[in-house]
Amino acid sequence: MENTIYDFEVKNDKNEITNLSIYKDKVLLIVNTATKCGLTPQYEALEALYEKYKDRGFFVLDFPCNQFLEQAPGTIEEISEFCTLKYNTTFPRFGKIDVNGEDTHPLFAWLKKEKPLDKGGIKAKIFEKTVSKLVKDKKEGDIKWNFGKFLIDRNGKVIERYSPAYKPEKLIKDIEAIL
């Protein structure tokens, strides 16, 4: 049974197996992303967070996911090119991944088990109610939509889970508290 984020392997954007232990002693924000979503502009705020805190050991880990109305189409190369050209992203990107359903990647199964509920607010609840009508076969604890976020401390433990509608800039206080 995995106890920390460091127990997982994922495919990077070059389709190579990467053990997340390379991020040992770092603060991580893990995000399931999409390039054709109303929330896609969050890439800009995610990059701003990464730039602001990377020298202090903070990383945004980008996991494209095509499960929500197929809003992450294309190859990982096409997704990377889009993110780099449109949003100037420089944080690590990984291979496309399933975050819900029978093919859920073990990393996201573990993240959801560790923190089954999103932190949000009124706007997040309204957003989630809207998108819940678009998601079939949803289960308790599932990722609600693109741009669900998990904050991981330097010991590899999940500290918080944030609603997709929760703006990245609102995470500053939580990030600074564990840096």
List phi, psi (to 5°) of 129: -65, -40
Give yes or no: 37 in active site: yes
The residue from 5, 29, 37, 107 that is catalytic is: 37
Question: In the 8-state DSSP scheme, what is residue 124?
Answer: H
CA 24/CA 79 separation, integer angstroms: 27
- Cα distance between the two ends of the chain: 27
CB within 8 A of 14, min separation 6: which ones? Answer: none
Q: How far is CA 68 from CA 17, 71, 98, 113, in A?
A: 25, 6, 10, 20
Q: Which residues are catalytic?
A: 37
